[in-house]
Amino acid sequence: MATKKFMFVNRKAPYGTVYALESLEVVLISAAFEQDVSLAFIDDGVYQITKGQDTTGIGQKNFSNTYKALGDYEIKKLYVSKESLEERGLTQDDLMDLVWEDEDDDWAEKPSIIMVDRSEMAAVMAEQEVTLSF
Amino acid sequence: MKFTIMINEGPYQHQSADSALQFCRSLLAQGHEIFRVFFYHDGVNNGSSLSVPPADDRLIQKEWSELSKEHDLDLVICIAAAQRRGLMDKDEAKRQGFESNNMIEGFRISGLGQLIEGGIESDRTVVFGD
């Protein structure tokens, strides 16, 4: 099957609605189809990859660890909107350390998070062939 | 051009369910091909056979069902999303041990791979959602 550039655009907070959880399910399936996958985190979507998520008290499953497994599925391009972080008083230090292992470099761990401003994000989006927005 | 359409919101709750239906009709009228329509999130409720809106309102599910019959459309409901929301066809109901089912004719249940395949096989993938 052909390989296409897929981008999943995550715009919503991880809890409160089911969009983020069900988006991750699509992302993992796309990896099984060996597609060229990128993720974008914009607006409240940046909260999906923040550190120290604790769902005790709201009766929801804490699925934040799933993002840490993305590198194992060869999903290693997570574009995060700088402006969306700033607007929410967050910095990159508030995000999980998401990495992938480079087999061509003795399995060295490399960062998956790529910080981009709005114009850079627009350029990455323009390169995509299939964009699914959640 | 070949299209795959993804619908992420339920009927009556959100305009995107109607917009998607109108968009599909427009595509067909202009001679485009619809490879697949994939229903996800609350969008799976577009396949319910148990909707009874007031008499002066549209019946969105039936409109999909008729459009499917007329143009031999492939309307696919995501199984994982449907299971969460209590939507099932005859086979799935039997498998889960339920006596009743609630999927309208013209839809089928399948997995998320069908959406990815749609994206790969189509010239354009268009998402209708919130």
Question: Which pLDDT band holds residue A2 (cuts at 50, 70, 90)?
Answer: confident
Q: Looking at domain A5-133, does it have CATH number 3.40.1260.10?
A: yes
Domain positions in chain A are 5-133
Domain range spanning residue B83?
2-128
**B10 to chain A, closest Cα gap in Å:** 13
Residue A114 has pLDDT above 90, yes or no: yes
Instruction: Report the DSSP pairing between strands B75-78 and B33-39.
Output: parallel
Catalytic residue among B34, B77, B78, B115: B78
Check residue B48 and give its pLDDT: 98
| Candidates B115, B120, B123, partner chain A, best to mutate (most A CBs within 10 A) | B120
Contact at CB, B116 and A33, closer than 8 angstroms: yes
ipTM for the complex shown:
0.93
Per-residue pLDDT tens digits for A14-40: 999 999 999 999 999 999 999 999 999
Phi and psi of A100, rounded to 5°?
-135, 160
Burial class of residue A105 (count of CB atoms within 10 Å of its CB; 0-12, 13-18, 19+)? exposed
Percent helix, strand and coil across chain A, each to the nearest 5 = 35, 25, 35
Question: Which pLDDT band holds residue A1 (cuts at 50, 70, 90)?
Answer: confident
Query: What distance in Å separates the CA atoms of residue A100 and residue A77, rounded to the nearest whole number?
Result: 9
CB contacts of A32 in chain B (<8 Å) are: 113
Question: Which pLDDT band holds residue A99 (cuts at 50, 70, 90)?
Answer: very high
Q: Can you say whether the dihedral through the CA atoms of B81, B83, B84, B87 is positive or negative?
A: positive
**B24 has catalytic annotation:** no
Q: For chain A, report the end-to-end CA distance as a whole number of angstroms.
A: 25
State the helix-helix crossing angle for B15-29 and B60-71, rounded to 10 degrees.
20
Contact at CB, B120 and A35, closer than 8 angstroms: yes
Residues of B with CB under 8 A from a CB of A: 6, 8, 40-41, 80-81, 84, 111-113, 115-117, 119-120, 125, 127, 129-130
**CATH number, domain containing residue B45:** 3.40.1260.10
Give the start-end residues of each E strand in chain A.
5-10, 36-41, 78-81, 99-102, 108-111, 113-116, 130-133
% pLDDT > 90, chain A: 98
Residue A105 has pLDDT above 90, yes or no: yes
Check residue A101 and give its pLDDT: 95
Query: Residue B81 is nearest to which of A2, A22, A29, comparing CB atoms?
Result: A22
Instruction: Please calculate the CA angle B121-B126-B127 and round it to the nearest 5 degrees.
Output: 125
Residue keyed to tokens 């655009």: A9
Cβ–Cβ < 8 Å for A56, A12 = no
Provide the chain A residues 10-49 that lie in CB contact (below 8 A) with chain B.
18-19, 22, 25-26, 29-30, 32-33, 35
Q: Across the 130 residues of chain B, what is the mean pLDDT of every consecutive 10-residue run?
A: 98 97 98 98 98 96 97 97 96 94 97 97 97
Quote the number of domains for chain B: 1
**A105 to chain B, closest Cα gap in Å:** 31
